[in-house]
């Protein structure tokens, strides 16, 4: 869950590393640091705090080297302080023979630390990473090539890692390795990069090589060499990043989260582009790698995900059951991977992950494949581990998402799940007329999301009230229950106000005990088959003097009469209503956090891509 960047070439390394770390800061921001080889010795600069603190440190204590590795940390082992900040150095008697940055968790670090301490290696930090540095230093003492030394170290490490390092005796050379935590090589002209995310290298090159699990790499300004720790030399495949470098810039917006909320009309367009087939009343999803016969054989679908992706999967449950008449279960990926659930041979497992690297979701995928189930992945990041290991899948094409609180990825996942539900439905009982109506609805979604964004002034007025609350309830029925959960999650993530989501029908079965004049309820209440029942539930809250904020149609007079604030969305077919209803809730969380002065793009304790268990 940390950010790694490395550079070797003709440029001064420090500015490149700092710029890369700024782009990766969403992956962790407890501390930041860099190491470079200068005149045969390792120069180390690191400090607790944001990347800006490192940048200031380098102003008065610069490093002139042309190679180095940098890191921005999300703490797992040890407090967020200067000592535990990466990089960590290895060597005997204070010698810095190697500097290492690491993403992941070394599960056997305690035993390795005891072994190394018995041999005279002194430890300064509480991190698991420092054992890697000392193991490397011990192997380098033998005088072998650094890549050979690294390949001897890797089998000793249990757990997950994305590693990048420099050695004192090899200026201009970087080493890297991955197992369960992403690492890519950026391929330039006369310069090369290492990074945990292509975002870091996008301004310099569009060509990247994704390392696979078990692989290690030696990088110089001229070339790079990849070796598998068991299979030997590997011929890497070079891919191109499919988005422009300015996609990771703020572009005049106050925060990345606000930028990404406002990008959602384009997100819906890109998710559906080339996939809606009006003449067939269906969707065409080319990456499924399953024939129509194989898909018709499916009798059960399991959706596995975490966090916001889990909420999108819940929307998918409603859509697939409604359009395809297939039973669907939505599982927390971190629980599913350890359960021995009774899945038969006609079960299709679909995993969802924005990053394609979520550790729990990857574990669920691998367990499903081990048991012989066909697996599909719905992911955003091309070349990610989940995308590579699934039997097939669908890319979101949402572009890079920098804000830690996911917004446009949720919308893209819901759109893709609607496409999948349509495709499965047309293979079964869904008529052409019904399918064509869904195609038309999805085609209209981008413009209608744009209309929903116009609710921002009404949202800001409601945010003033919500910002004063200590707890908020979010409620919705049917397709809008997952939207309520997502609204509660967004508020928790970035404003630190306690929030819970419930089905509206559950209000009277317990949560109504919490209602008082200081506890607002946010109802997701567009018109639909259960609208009258939702209005009755709102009446129950109103009778107990609970403040009410509603997401609904601007011309819904009954809803307006019962609500203190209405966040308007346009009328739309029910199948795309979640794409519209979530927009005011995302904006609500954003403006509440803004009013409270919270760090919106970098909320406390959170990181963007959860690559550790």
2 is catalytic: yes
Helix axes 129-140, 109-118, angle to 10 degrees: 40
Report the C-alpha gap between 40 and 212 in whole angstroms: 31
Active site residue: 2, 272, 306, 598, which one? 2
DSSP string of 224-246, one letter each residue? EEEEETTTEEE-PPPEE--S-GG
Residue partners of 143: CB distance under 8 A and separation at least 6: none
The Cβ of residue 605 has, within 10 Å, a number of other Cβ atoms equal to 9
Question: Is the CB of residue 162 less than 8 Å from the CB of residue 196?
Answer: yes
Write out the two tokens for 273.
């582009």
- Dmax over CA atoms of the chain, in Å, equals 80
Query: Catalytic residue at 306?
Result: no
What's the rounded Cα separation, in Å, for the pair 395 and 380? 5
- Tokens found for residue 226: 């990849």
Question: Checking DSSP bridges between strand 215-219 and strand 347-353, what pairing results, if any?
Answer: unpaired
Instruction: Say how far apart CA 88 and CA 71 lie, in whole Å.
Output: 10
Q: Are 184 and 240 in contact (CB under 8 A)?
A: no
Query: Residue 317: which of 301, 332, 333 has the closest Cα?
Result: 301
The three-class DSSP label of residue 126 is coil
Separation CA 25–CA 32 (nearest Å): 9
Q: How far is CA 318 from CA 163, 288, 334, 432, 557, in A?
A: 41, 21, 22, 20, 28
Whole-number Å distance between alpha carbons of 529 and 526:
10
Q: Give me the active site residues, please.
A: 2, 608
């Amino acid at each position: 869950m940390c950010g790694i960047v490395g550079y070797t070439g003709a440029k001064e390394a420090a500015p490149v590393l700092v710029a890369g770390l700024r782009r990766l800061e969403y992956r962790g921001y407890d501390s930041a640091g860099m190491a470079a080889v200068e005149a045969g010795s390792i120069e180390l600069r690191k400090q607790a705090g944001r990347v800006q603190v490192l940048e200031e440190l380098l102003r008065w204590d610069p490093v002139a080297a042309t190679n180095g590795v940098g890191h921005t940390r999300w703490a797992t082992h040890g407090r967020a302080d200067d000592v535990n900040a990466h990089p960590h150095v290895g060597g005997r008697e204070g010698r810095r023979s190697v500097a290492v940055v690491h993403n992941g968790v070394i599960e056997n670090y305690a035993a390795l630390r005891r072994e190394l301490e018995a041999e005279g290696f002194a430890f300064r930090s509480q991190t698991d990473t420092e054992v890697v540095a000392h193991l490397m230093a011990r192997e380098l003492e033998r005088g072998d090539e650094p890549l050979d030394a690294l390949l001897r170290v890797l089998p000793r490490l249990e757990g997950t890692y994305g590693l990048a390092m420099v050695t004192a005796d090899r200026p201009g050379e970087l080493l890297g390795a991955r197992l369960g935590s992403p690492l890519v090589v950026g391929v330039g002209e006369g310069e090369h990069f290492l990074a945990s995310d292509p975002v870091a290298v996008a301004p310099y090159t569009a060509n990247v090589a994704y390392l696979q699990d078990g692989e290690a790499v030696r990088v110089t300004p001229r070339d790079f060499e990849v070796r598998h720790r068991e299979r030997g030399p590997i011929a890497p495949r070079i891919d191109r990043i499919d988005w422009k470098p300015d996609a990771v810039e703020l572009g005049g917006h106050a925060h990345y989260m606000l930028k990404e909320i406002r990008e959602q009309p384009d997100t819906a367009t890109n998710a559906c582009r080339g996939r809606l087939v009006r003449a067939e009343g269906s969707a065409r999803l080319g990456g499924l790698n399953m024939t129509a016969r194989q898909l018709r054989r499916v009798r059960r679908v399991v959706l596995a995900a975490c966090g916001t992706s889990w909420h999108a999967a819940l929307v998918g449950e409603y859509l697939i059951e409604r359009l395809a008449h297939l039973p669907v279960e939505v599982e927390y990926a971190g629980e599913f991977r350890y359960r021995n659930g009774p899945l038969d041979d006609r079960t299709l497992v679909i995993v969802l992950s924005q990053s394609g690297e979520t550790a729990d979701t990857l574990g669920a995928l691998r367990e499903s494949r081990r048991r012989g189930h066909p697996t599909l992945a719905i992911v955003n990041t091309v070349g990610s581990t989940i995308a590579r290991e699934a039997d097939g899948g669908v890319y979101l094409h949402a572009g890079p998402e920098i804000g830690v609180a996911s917004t446009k990825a949720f919308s893209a996942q819901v759109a893709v799940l609607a496409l999948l539900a349509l495709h499965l439905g047309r293979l079964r009982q869904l008529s052409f007329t019904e399918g064509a109506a869904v195609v038309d609805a999805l085609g209209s979604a981008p413009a209608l999301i744009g209309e929903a964004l116009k609710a921002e002034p009404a949202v800001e007025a409601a945010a003033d009230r919500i910002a004063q609350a200590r707890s908020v309830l979010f409620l919705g029925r049917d397709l809008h229950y997952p939207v309520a959960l997502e609204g509660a999650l967004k508020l928790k993530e970035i404003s630190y106000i306690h929030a819970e989501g419930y089905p509206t029908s559950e209000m009277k079965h317990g949560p109504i005990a919490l209602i008082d004049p200081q506890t607002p309820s946010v109802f997701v209440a567009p018109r639909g088959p259960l609208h009258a029942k939702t209005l009755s539930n709102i009446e129950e809250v109103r009778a107990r003097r609970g403040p009410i904020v509603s997401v609904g149609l601007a011309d819904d007079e009954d809803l307006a009469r019962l609500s203190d604030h209405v966040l308007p969305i346009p009328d739309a077919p029910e199948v795309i209503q979640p794409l519209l209803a979530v927009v005011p809730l995302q904006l609500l969380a954003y403006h509440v956090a803004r009013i409270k002065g919270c760090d919106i793009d970098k909320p406390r304790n959170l990181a963007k891509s959860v690559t550790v268990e």
